[in-house]
């Protein structure tokens, strides 16, 4: 005996309406109206909404977004900050050990090791694979794409996958602060996490205000000249690599010898300084981004300080005033590391204003708020515990 066909509620409703229209008297139209009202509407008509992304594009997305992927450098970091990483259905190769770094220094990844277990959808830095995205099960409802204006490909990715792509920025904590805030707010609006986005922005603002308050108590003539070397930028770099608008220095009104290299409306985010210029500046205190210590010997900023006679002439090297700070950029900027470094740098340069601060404990507090758990002690183990310490240098060895 053949089984009866199974009809969807949508088909049942449409057939019922057709029957009533041909057989039911006008007096029964009220019942017809009630039935039509209760028939399922298309999901898109019922649940869609339009948001404007950071490229100025109007993007139609589901009213409730439960499944996403994050494309581009640092995108997943911001999603973790917003406590929305439980909605991902795939990751790029950065979470699969695909970054060109030998040691892990991304607090969001250290705090959430399970991120690496999700399926792969493409290569790091926004090199997405539409075929891999199409094969994700469950499928993402939207794609969040950081650095969209720089990397491009937003419209093409949306056309190839048929999935709405929301273009985002990333920003920074100085000249790109508004871009960062807007990125967090757009992500929050997409995910229904507006309150958390505002909480993260307020947390950043409060820490900056605290740092600035402490620094204002220090007279300008008591602020030693400083330099930050070994900054990573799309990969590791040596001691000559610096950040003219280095946020911890800006928050603390530090005398940054390289600050004049940051000029124009957007400023210069990265610079490579000649040895001769460093000798002319001769900073009193040097900070070393410990990411450089994992490069090969010739490019390693730590080894350069130890072996290059030119750097031996620096007053900070001769006076053992070289200190390690946590990696600033590691698949884009580690914002928790920026603030953690600022508190440590303040404790070194202005110790009387930071007597109540244990830098490592403060770092773990920041990481816990943003990433859900402590991370810096574990990261430090990957770098021979050079973070937040005086780095031993012996120029004569």
pTM of the model: 0.86
Residues whose CB is less than 8 angstroms from the CB of residue 18 and which lie 6 or more positions away in sequence, other chains included: none
How far is C-alpha 51 from the geometric centre of its chain's CA atoms?
22
**What CATH number has the domain spanning 218-390?**
3.40.50.1980
Note whether 45-192 and 218-390 share their fold: yes
Which pLDDT tens digits describe the chain residue by residue (397 residues)?
433 333 333 333 344 444 444 554 544 444 434 333 433 444 344 489 999 999 999 999 999 999 999 999 999 999 999 999 999 999 999 998 867 665 689 999 999 999 999 999 998 888 899 999 999 999 999 999 999 888 788 999 999 999 999 999 999 999 899 999 999 999 999 999 999 999 999 999 999 999 999 999 999 999 999 999 999 876 667 889 999 999 999 999 999 999 988 754 445 578 899 999 999 999 999 999 999 988 777 779 999 999 999 999 999 999 999 999 999 888 899 999 999 999 999 999 999 999 999 999 999 999 999 999 999 999 999 999 999 999 998 744 4
Token output for 377: 């002690």
Instruction: Quote the strand ranges of 303-369, DSSP E.
Output: 322-325
Name residue, tokens 């990751």. 91
Any idea where the domains of the chain sit in the sequence? Answer: 9-40, 45-192, 218-390
Q: How far apart are CA 185 and CA 199, in angstroms?
A: 11
In eight-state DSSP terms, residue 115 is: G
The CATH number for 45-192, chosen from 3.40.50.10190, 3.40.50.2000, 3.40.50.360, 3.40.50.1980, is 3.40.50.1980
Instruction: With H, G, I as helix, E, B as strand and everything else as coil, classify residue 382.
Output: coil
């Amino acid at each position: 005996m053949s089984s009866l066909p199974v009809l969807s509620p949508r088909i049942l409703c449409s057939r019922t309406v057709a029957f009533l229209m041909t057989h039911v008297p006008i007096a029964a139209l009220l019942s017809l109206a009630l039935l039509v009202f209760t028939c399922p509407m298309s999901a898109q008509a019922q649940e869609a909404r339009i948001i404007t992304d950071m490229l100025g594009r109007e993007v139609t997305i589901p009213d409730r977004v439960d499944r996403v992927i994050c494309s581009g450098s640092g995108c997943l970091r911001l999603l973790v900050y917003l406590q929305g990483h439980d909605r991902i259905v795939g990751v790029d190769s950065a979470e699969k050990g695909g970054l060109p770094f030998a040691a892990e220094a991304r607090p969001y990844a250290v705090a959430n090791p399970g991120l690496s277990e999700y399926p792969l959808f493409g290569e790091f830095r926004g090199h997405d694979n539409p075929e891999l995205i199409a094969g994700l099960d469950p499928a993402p409802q939207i794609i969040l794409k950081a650095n969209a204006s720089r990397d491009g490909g937003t419209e093409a990715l949306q056309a190839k996958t048929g999935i709405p792509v929301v273009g985002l920025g990333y920003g920074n904590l100085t000249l790109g602060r508004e871009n960062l805030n807007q990125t967090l707010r757009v992500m929050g609006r997409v995910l229904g996490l507006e309150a958390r986005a505002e909480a993260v922005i307020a947390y950043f603002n409060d820490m900056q205000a605290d740092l600035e308050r402490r620094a204002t108590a220090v007279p300008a003539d008591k602020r030693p000249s400083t330099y930050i070397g070994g900054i990573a930028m799309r990969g590791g770099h040596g001691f000559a690599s610096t950040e003219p608008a280095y946020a911890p220095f800006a928050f603390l009104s530090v005398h940054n010898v390289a600050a004049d290299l940051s000029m124009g409306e957007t400023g210069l985010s990265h610079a490579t300084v000649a040895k001769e210029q460093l000798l002319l500046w001769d900073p009193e205190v040097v900070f070393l981004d410990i990411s450089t210590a994992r490069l090969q010997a010739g490019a390693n900023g730590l080894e350069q300080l130890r072996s290059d006679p030119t750097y031996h002439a620096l007053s900070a090297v001769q006076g053992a005033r070289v200190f390690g700070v946590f990696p600033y950029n590691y698949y884009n900027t580690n914002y928790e590391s920026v603030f953690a470094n600022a508190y440590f740098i303040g404790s070194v340069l202005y110790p009387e204003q930071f007597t109540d601060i244990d830098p490592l404990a403060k770092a773990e507090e920041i990481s816990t708020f943003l990433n859900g758990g402590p991370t810096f002690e574990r990261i430090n183990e990957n770098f021979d515990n050079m973070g937040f310490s005086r780095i031993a240098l012996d120029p004569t060895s």
